[in-house]
């Protein structure tokens, strides 16, 4: 059984784009994906999991997204370390494949990074 989880942070302009901890992604009550997969009694593998480094307050602008990459201050590293700790709480999760590419860069509408 597999799951895909991404923290899009503030890298997108859409209202759904906000910084989300790994624990909140995993325990998302609106989809209850972990609960539904666990009900099958099979092992679970996180087939894609990743995070952006972009988190900021205020109105979304492309310039703030770019600054978020330059001003990371370990946000991405902290998110990954919390992911590793959280996974240990669930014996049914047998592994994870970390997707080490910040997809917010290439998917930000109307802009490209030189």
| Domains located in the chain, CATH noted | 2-107 (3.20.20.80)
Q: How many CB atoms lie within 10 A of CB 44?
A: 21
Per-residue confidence (pLDDT) for residue 26, from 0 to 100:
93
Arithmetic mean of pLDDT, 5-30: 90
Q: What angle do CA 101, 106, 112 make, to 5 degrees?
A: 135
Per-residue confidence (pLDDT) for residue 52, from 0 to 100:
87
Q: What is the mean pLDDT of the chain?
A: 85
pLDDT at 9 over 80: yes
* pLDDT tens readout for residues 28-45: 888 899 999 999 999 999
pLDDT at 88 over 50: yes
Q: Indicate the SS3 state at residue 86.
A: helix
The structure tokens listed for 19 are 């910084």
* pLDDT tens readout for residues 37-68: 999 999 999 999 998 888 888 999 888 888 88
Residue that the structure tokens 């894609």 belong to? 48
């Amino acid at each position: 059984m597999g799951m895909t989880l991404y923290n899009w942070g503030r890298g997108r302009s859409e209202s759904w784009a906000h910084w989300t901890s790994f624990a909140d992604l995993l325990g998302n009550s609106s989809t209850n994906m972990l609960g539904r997969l666990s009900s099958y009694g099979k092992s679970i593998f996180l087939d894609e999991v990743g995070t952006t480094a972009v988190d900021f307050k205020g109105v979304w602008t492309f310039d703030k997204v770019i600054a978020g990459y330059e001003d990371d201050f370990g946000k991405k590293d902290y998110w990954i370390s919390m992911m590793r700790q959280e996974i240990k709480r669930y014996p049914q999760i047998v592994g994870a494949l970390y997707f080490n590419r910040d997809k917010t860069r290439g998917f930000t509408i109307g802009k490209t990074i030189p």
